[in-house]
Structure 1
Amino acid sequence: MSFRHSTLLASSLAVLLLAGCTVGPKYQRPQVPVPPSYRGGAVVNSTPADAKATAASLGAEKWSTVFQDPVLQKLISEAITNNYDIRIAAQRILEEQDQLGITRAQEYPTLSGGASYNTIGLPASISKALGGNNNNSNTGRKNIYAGGLSLSAAWNLDFWGYYRSQTAAARDQLLASTWARRMTIDTVVENVATAYFQLRTLDAELAITRQTVAARKNSLQLTQTLERGGSGTLEDVRQAQESLYQATAQIPDLERQIAQEEDALSILLGRNPGPVLHGNLSSVDWPDPHQVPAGLPLQLLERRPDIEEAEAQLRADNANVDVARARFFPQLSITGNGGTDSSQFKQLFDGSNILWYVTGSLTQSIFDAGSLRNNLHLTQAEKQQQVLTYSQTIQKAFQNVSDSLIALHRYREYRAQEEKYVAAAKDATRLARMRYKGGATSYLEVLTNDTTYYQAQISLLTAREQEAISFVQLYSALGGGWQ
C-alpha cells in the first residue's frame, strides 16, 4: 500500500470518528428535593381504601371523566376547540416545527444546478476581421451559439456537533412548545370549570333571592292583614316592607354578575360576549371530592405540563451550550462545482467540454476579542437560570397541590357546618312565623330569623362553590385537564 493510500485511509477513518463527536457533557436532569407525600394529603386520603390507592392520582384522569356534568362537558369541549390562547399555542408549535426543519437542513449537503444559453450576433465587419465563416450569406453576419449546464454542491462537515446541537436545541424547543400548549389547555379547562361553578352559584343565589322575595311578599301581606284587623302594628308593616325591598334590591346586582360571568365564560369559549348554556339548576352535577387520590409527588414531575415544559427548555439551553463550545473548533467545509459548455448540443456532454473542481476550506478563529468565550459564558448562564426556573416550577407545583388539598378538606368541613346552619335557621324561621301568626311575638323576630336563614343559604352556596373550585384547582395542580 502506497503512502498516499495510507494517508487517505487514515484521514477517512478520522473523519468517521470525528463525525460522531460532540464537545459538551450529556444532559442530566437536575436533582430536586421531592417530599415523600403532600402536605394535606393525609386529610383527604384518610381511609384504608384511599391508602391502597396512594400511587393513583386524580391528575391522570381525563377531564371528561372528572367533570361529568353534561353542560360543563360541552363548554370545555368548545373551549378546547375555539379558545384563542389554545389556537395561538398550536400555531407556535407549527412555527417551531418549521424552525426545526430549517435547522436540521444545515446538517446535510446542499445541491444546486443551473442551465444557460447564449447567442451572440457579430456584424459582418467583425466577422470578416476574425476570419470566421459567415452563417448568414445575405448580410455577412455571424451568429455564435453557446449552451451549458452547471452543478454545485456544498457540505459543512459537522465534526464537533455544531449543527447537531442546534438541531437538538430546536427539537427541545418544539417539545417545550408542545407542553406549553398542553399547559394552556390545562389552564383553560380549569378556568372554564371554575367560571361554570361560579355561574351556577350565582344562578342558585338568584333563585334563592327570588324565593325569599316571594316569601317576604307573603309576609308583607300578612302584616298588612293583621294590622288592619287590629292584632298587628304599622311598625310590623314597615319592617316587612324594608325586608322585602332589601331582598328585591339584590336581584339586579345578581343579574349583573351573571351577565358579566357569562361574558367572561364566552371569551374562554372563543366567542364574543353573550349568553352561554346554563342547564337546569336542579341538574347541576357538582363534583364529589370525598375520594381524591393525590398520588405521589414524584409522579408530578412526569405529569404537569409546566414542569415538562421547563425541562424541555432546560435541555434546549444545554444544547445551546454545546453549540457555543463547538464554535471554538475549526469548521471544515467542502465545495464542488461542475459544468459543461458547448456551442453544439450534441457535444454538450462530451468529456472534453466538462469542467469540475472540488475545494475544501478549514476556518478557525484566531482573534475575536473574547466573543466566543463570552458567548459560551452567556449560554451557560442561561442554562443555570433555567435550572433554577425548573426547580422553582417544581416547588410551586408541590405548593399548588398542597394548598389545594388543604383548601378542599377545609371547605368540605365548612360546607358540612353550613348545611347544619341552614337546617337550624330554616326551622327557627318556621317557628318564628308560627309564633307571629299566633300573636306570641313581634314581626321583628320573624324578620331576624328570616334574614339569618337567607344569609345561611347564601353562605352554604359559597361553601359549596369554594369546595367545587378547590376540587377543580386540585385536579389542575395534579397535572390534569390537558388529556
Structure 2
Amino acid sequence: MNDFAAQSAVSAPAAARAPSGRALVTVPGARRALRALGLAFAAATLGACTLIPAYERPAAPVPASFPQAPAAAPAAPAADAIAWRDYFADPRLRQLIALALENNRDLRVAALAIERARAQYGIQRADLFPSIALSGGQNAQRAPGAFNAGGESTVSRQYSASLGFAAYELDFFGRVRSLEEQALQTYLGTEEARRSAQISLVAEVAGAWLRLGADRERLALARSTFETRQKSYELTRRSFDLGAVSALDLQQAETLLQGARADVARYTAQVAQDENALALVVGAAVPTALLPQALGEDAAAVAELPAGLPSEVLARRPDIVQAERALQAANASIGAARAAFFPRISLTASAGSASTALDGLFESGSRAWSFVPQIRLPIFEAGRLQASLDVAEIQRDIQVAGYEKAIQSAFCEVADALAERATLAEQLDARRRLAAAAARSFELSEARYRGGVDSYLNLLDAQRSLYAAELELIATRLSDATSRVALYKALGGGWQ
C-alpha cells in the first residue's frame, strides 16, 4: 500500500492548483468508476475458468476380488463402519487406545500438519480476492535557492491518504484458481493422512498390548515350569545320592532346569521391553491397571469382518484417499502451468485525498484516485514455461504411479490378512489339541515312571514336549489376535 500512497502523492501536484495552493483533483465520476470496477472484480472472480485437465480416477491395477475371502453375511457391517471402541472388547485396551490418541506425538504432529495445511490453503485462497488496505503518507522536499526565482530555498510538503489495492490479478485463465485447488487437495490429503495415522496408532497399540499379554503369559509359564523342574531336580538329586538313579538322569534333569531358568530370564527382559514399547507408542506412562496379565480370549472382537470387493474397500482406506488427493493436487498444478502461457492482467487502484496542507487533507476538492491496469504477455521465456508444464505433467504421472502402488500395497495387506485368517482357526484348534495331548502324555509318562514301568528319559521328553506345546499354543493365540487387528486395519477400520 505504500505504492498506492506514492502514486497518489505524485499525481496530486500535477493536478490543477487552486488559488490557495492546495492540490485539487476533482473527478465527478470517480465513485461510479470504483463501483463499476468492483463489479468487474466480482465478475472476473466468479466467471473465471480453469485449464485444469479433466480428472479421471485411474483404474485399480488389482484383481476384482480378494483371494481366500470368506463369504460374509450381507448385513455384516464394514470394517471402517465399526469404531475401535466397539471392535475391541477388553475395557483396559479401549482405555489405553484412548490414552494413546491423546498423547501420541506422531498423531499430534499429524494433527498439527492439518492445521498448517489449512492455513496454507487460506493463504492461497486469499489470492482470489484483492487485498485492500488503508495508507497515509507525507512527502517533504527542499529546493535550494538556485532553483527558485527569488533566490530563496523552499520546502514543499504533500500529504496523502488512500484506500486501495495493488497488483490484483484478474484470473481470466484460472491460474490462481488452479493453485487454490491444488492447495485445497493438499489440505484434504493431510486430513486423510491423520486418519491413516490414527488407524496405524490404534493397531500398533493393540498389537503392543497383545504382545505384552502373550509375553507375560509365557513368563508365567516359564516360571511355573522352572518351579516344577526345580522340584523334579531336587527329587532326582536325592535319588542319585541314594543310588536309585544314574548320573545321566541327574544331568538330564539339570538340563531341563537350566533351560527353564534361561527362559525365565529371557521372558522377563522381553516383558520389560514390551512395557517400554507400549509406553512409547501411548506417549505417556501406562497405568498398571491397564496392563494385561495374560493373553485373554476376548482381546479382540470375535466377529469376522467382511472383506467385500476391492473397489469398495480400497475406496474407504484413508491412505488410498490421501494418494488420490495428491494426484488431484498434481492435476490442478497442470492448470496453473498452462495458464502461465496466457496474458496475465493485474490491477492497482486507490482512491483517497491529497493536499499540500495537513489540515486540508479531507476538505472538499482534495479527492484523488489512481488506476493502473497492467497486462503481461509472455513472448520469449527460453523454454521456461514449457519446462514448467512438463514438470507439472511428469509430477502428475508420478502421482498416478504412487496412487496405483498404494492400491496394490493395500490389496496385498488385505490379501495377506485374509490368507492368515483362512488357516488360523485350524492352527489354533490343532495347537489346543496338541497341548492337551502333550499334557495327557506327560501324566501317563509320570505315572509309568513312578510305577517303575518307564524310564526317566521318557518322562523328561514328555515334560519337554508339554512345555513346547504350551508355548506354541500361546504363540498361535497371539497370531490369531494380532491377525484380527491386522485385518481390521487393512480394511480401513480404526479411524472413527
TM-score of the aligned structures, taking structure 1 as reference length: 0.86
Evaluate the alpha carbon distance shift between residue 290 and residue 122 of structure 1 in structure 2; reply closer, same or farther with a 3 A threshold.
closer
* Distance of 1:87 and 1:381 partners within structure 2: 33
Deviations 1:297-327 (A, max 9, x none): 2222331011000011011011000010111
The answer to whether 1:93 aligns with 2:114 is yes
SS at 1:52's partner residue?
Answer: coil
Per-residue Cα deviation, 1:78-115 (whole angstroms, up to 9, x for no partner): 22111111111111111111111111111111222222
Aligned residues: 459
- For residue 25 of structure 1, give the secondary structure of its aligned residue in structure 2: coil
Residues in 2 aligned to 1:91 and 1:288: alpha-carbon distance in whole angstroms: 32
Q: From the superposition, tell whether residues 197 and 15 of structure 1 become closer, same or farther in structure 2 (CA, over 3 Å).
A: closer
State yes or no: 1:384 paired with 2:397: yes
Alpha-carbon deviations, 1:259-317, whole Å to 9, x = none?
A: 12222222111248998942333756332546332222222233101100001101101
Q: Does 1:23 align with 2:51?
A: yes
**TM-aligned CA deviation for residue 482 of structure 1:** 1.5
Which residue, out of 253, 260, 278, partners 1:240? 253
Structure 2, unaligned runs of 5 or more: 1-35
Residue among 77, 81, 102 paired with 1:81: 102
Distance 2:450 2:42 in 1: 106
Worse overlay, 462-471 or 445-454: 462-471
Mean alpha-carbon deviation: is it higher for 56-65 or for 103-112? 56-65
Q: Tell me the residue number matched to 2:74.
A: 52
Secondary structure of the corresponding residue to residue 286 of structure 1: coil
Q: From 404, 411, 423, give the equivalent of 2:417.
A: 404
Structure 1 counterpart of 2:418, one-letter code: L
The residue type equivalent to 2:74 in the other structure is: K
Structure 2 residue aligned with 1:296: 309
Aligned counterparts of 1:283 and 1:198: Cα–Cα separation in 2: 11
- Note if 1:148 corresponds to 2:160: yes
2:201 is matched with 188
Alignment of 1:259-278 (within 5 A): 259-271=272-284, 277-278=290-291
The range that moved more, 318-327 or 389-398, is: 389-398
CA contact (8 A) 2:53 2:334 kept: no
Which of 375-384 and 217-226 deviates more?
217-226
Residues in 2 aligned to 1:371 and 1:384: alpha-carbon distance in whole angstroms: 20
Deviation at 1:338, TM superposition (A): 3.1
**Matching of residue 457 in structure 1 with residue 470 in structure 2:** yes
Amino acid at match of 2:373: G
Which deviates further from its counterpart, 306-315 or 152-161? Answer: 152-161
Cα distance in 1 for partners of 2:139, 2:79 equals: 75
Specify whether residues 403 and 307 from structure 1 end up closer, same or farther in structure 2 by C-alpha distance, changes over 3 A only: same
1:231 and 1:439 in contact (8 A); partners too: no
Structure 2 vs 1, CA of residues 353 and 257 (structure 1 numbering), >3 Å: closer, same or farther?
same
- Supply the distance in 2 between the matched residues of 1:162 and 1:283 (Cα, whole angstroms): 59
Q: 1:308 aligns with which of 321, 324, 336?
A: 321
Instruction: Give the deviation of 1:144 after TM superposition.
Output: 7.9
Q: Per the alignment, in what secondary structure is the counterpart of residue 341 of structure 1? A: strand
In structure 2, the residue matched to 1:135 is none
Matches within 5 A, 1:68-467: 68-116=89-137, 147-154=159-166, 155-227=168-240, 231-271=244-284, 277-281=290-294, 285-289=298-302, 291-344=304-357, 347-467=360-480
Q: Does 1:64 align with 2:85?
A: yes
SS of residue in 2 equivalent to 1:37:
coil
After TM superposition, the structure 1 stretch with the greater mean CA deviation from structure 2, 305-314 or 342-351, is: 342-351
CA distance change for structure 1 residues 15 and 293 in 2, over 3 Å: closer, same or farther? closer
3-state SS of 1:41 partner: coil
CA distance in 1, matches of 2:46, 2:287: 64
Q: Equivalents in 2 of 1:255, 1:288: separation in Å?
A: 29
The CA distance in 2 between the partners of 1:13 and 1:333, in whole Å, is: 11
Do the aligned partners of 1:58 and 1:295 also contact (CA within 8 Å) in 2?
no
What CA deviation, in whole Å up to 9, does each residue of 1:144-168 have, x standing for no partner? Answer: 8764312332321000111111111
Which stretch shifts more, 465-474 or 56-65? 56-65
RMSD: 3.3
Give CA deviations for 1:155-213 in whole Å, capped at 9, x if unaligned. 21000111111111000000111111111111111111111111111111111111111
**Partner Cα distance (1:246, 1:150) in 2:** 89
* CA distance, structure 1, for counterparts of residue 291 and residue 41 of structure 2: 72
CA distance in 2, matches of 1:30, 1:221: 72
1:6-21 maps to which residues of 2 (within 5 A)? Answer: 19-21=47-49
Tell me the SS of whatever aligns to 1:28: coil
TM-score (normalised: structure 2): 0.84
Whether contact under 8 Å (1:172, 1:315) holds in the other structure is: yes
Structure 1 residues 308-349: Cα deviation after superposition (integer angstroms, max 9, x where no partner): 000110110110000101111101111113332335555322
Q: Is the 8 A contact 2:216 2:293 kept in 1?
A: no
Consecutive unaligned residues in structure 1, runs of 5 or more: 1-7, 133-141
Letter in 2 for 1:52: P
Identity score, percent: 34
